Amino acid sequence: MKKLFYEDCHLTEFTATVTGCEKCDKGYLVTLDATAFYPEGGGQACDTGTLGGVKVLDVREKDGKLLHLCDGALTVGEAVEGRIDWARRFDLMQQHTGEHILSGLINARFGYHNTGFHVGADVMEVDFDGPITAAELAELEREANEAIWKNQPVKCWIPSPEELPGVTYRTKRPLPWPVRIVQVGDVDSCACCGIHVAHTGEVGIIKILSCASLRGGVRLEMVCGSRAYRYMAAIFDQNRLVSQTFSAKMLETGEAAQKVQEALTREKQRCAELHSKVFASTAAGYEGFGNVVHFEPSLTSAQVRELATCISQTVTGFAAVFSETEAGFAYCLASREADLRELGKKMTATLNGRGGGKPNFQQGSVAATREAIEAFFAGNP
Ligand SMILES: [Zn+2]
């Protein structure tokens, strides 16, 4: 069985003869005398596509055979046309080759090994067994993109047993012959059975998205090629919105956002001070009152608590403060010494509410109208 994908990574259509077709739970397992469908392996997902008019859903290598899981039967002995899903394959080759470039650069600089590799639906995760700083990553990313722009060839071959000892390559442990070597320009040499682009330029671009510490090393999230383009185009659209919102130049949005954030913090502080003054003044207006039921619009629950505390200091009874919310009212019952638990319990039961707290400080919400709240307190003076 000829592995056409190793002979030409750009081969998308081919003709082959069906050598076997067996029914299984998920469809039909088809074998061919030659195939361009890459099977799952080496951390790289398999190809999908069509074969003789039926869909190829999955491809695996088992006991030296390449099994194509198809959704329909094919006739043994017949010649069939195979067509692989090129968009999927090219994307996977871009990610995989990009990973080689970065892993090669990291290995040459720090001696670290790639200890994990996963191509997800949106981003690729690559793990290394040593720490890398943000500044070092920025340099590595630039070097990786420079390696792409050099458009150097990617060479894959199996050295003879005599030749192999003379070949330098990246591997976590010694491998028995035959070893397939992938030489990516002058940046990487690695034992790998995966499938790669033919020239580094096809990777297009490499962008590292994040770096997190992981078991003494790091896990990088990165994107290459078409994924990197889509990701950066989406970021650009978001930045345009930020730019328009803050009336800032596209390359100065970060600074503008920081300034707005600082101004917002100052305003919040000023607003809190004003609220405290208003609350003190409101409380002073109730000086000497007994029990007070007070409604105040648009307060946060923290402000409801603050106002109730203020009023409870100037009255002889309790303070009940309410502020309207989308679902009803937020409330706080406060007094200097009186136990308000019974009142709170009765109120939440009557007004469809919930809450609790300390004996002299009850808080929560009620799903009731202002009229119903006033009627409750009129009946419980
Ligand atoms: Zn590879």
Residues surrounding ion ligand 1 at CB below 5 Å: 182, 192, 194
Closest Cα partner for 199 from 155, 141, 169, 168? 155
d(C-alpha 170, C-alpha 110), whole Å: 13
Closest Cα partner for 338 from 355, 353, 322, 320? 320
Distance between Cα 96 and ligand 1 center (Å) = 6
- Residue 84: C-alpha distances to residues 94, 120, 198, 268, 356 (Å): 16, 20, 17, 59, 64
d(C-alpha 29, C-alpha 25), whole Å: 10
Q: Does residue 367 sit in helix, strand or coil?
A: coil
Distance between Cα 280 and ligand 1 center (Å) = 70
Q: Does residue 286 sit in helix, strand or coil?
A: coil
- Each residue's pLDDT expressed in tens, for the chain with a length of 381 residues: 899 999 999 999 999 999 999 999 999 999 999 999 999 887 789 999 999 999 999 999 999 899 999 999 999 999 999 999 999 999 999 999 999 999 999 999 999 999 988 998 899 999 999 999 999 999 999 999 999 999 999 999 999 988 888 888 887 677 778 899 999 999 999 999 899 999 999 999 999 999 999 999 999 999 999 999 999 999 999 999 999 999 999 999 999 999 999 999 999 999 999 999 999 999 999 999 999 999 999 999 999 999 999 999 999 999 999 999 998 999 999 999 899 999 999 999 999 999 999 999 999 999 999 999 999 999 876
| CB atoms near residue 42 (< 10 Å) | 14
d(C-alpha 307, C-alpha 184), whole Å: 69
Q: If you ran DSSP here, which 8-state letter would residue 179 be given?
A: -
Question: Which phi and psi angles does 367 have, rounded to 5°?
Answer: -105, 75
Q: Does residue 45 sit in helix, strand or coil?
A: coil
Distance between Cα 56 and ligand 1 center (Å) = 23
d(C-alpha 361, C-alpha 311), whole Å: 12
Distance between Cα 52 and ligand 1 center (Å) = 29
d(C-alpha 363, C-alpha 271), whole Å: 23
Question: Cα 219 vs. chain centroid, distance in angstroms?
Answer: 13
d(C-alpha 253, C-alpha 381), whole Å: 57
Distance between Cα 101 and ligand 1 center (Å) = 10
Q: If you ran DSSP here, which 8-state letter would residue 194 be given?
A: S
Distance between Cα 180 and ligand 1 center (Å) = 10
Query: pTM of this prediction?
Result: 0.78
Distance between Cα 165 and ligand 1 center (Å) = 20
Q: Which residues of 159-186 are buried (b: 16+ CB within 10 A; e: fewer)?
A: beeeebeeeebbeeeeeeeebbbbbbbe
Q: Computed from CA positions of residues 248, 252, 257, 263, in that sequence, does the dihedral angle turn out positive or negative?
A: negative
Distance between Cα 182 and ligand 1 center (Å) = 6
Distance between Cα 234 and ligand 1 center (Å) = 29
The answer to whether 308 touches 291, Cβ cutoff 8 Å, is no
Helical spans, DSSP H, in 210-323: 225-246, 253-285, 301-314
Domains, the chain, in order of start with CATH, read: 2-84 (2.40.30.130), 90-233 (3.30.980.10), 276-379 (3.10.310.40)
In terms of DSSP bridges, do strands 206-214 and 217-224 run parallel, antiparallel, or are they unpaired? antiparallel
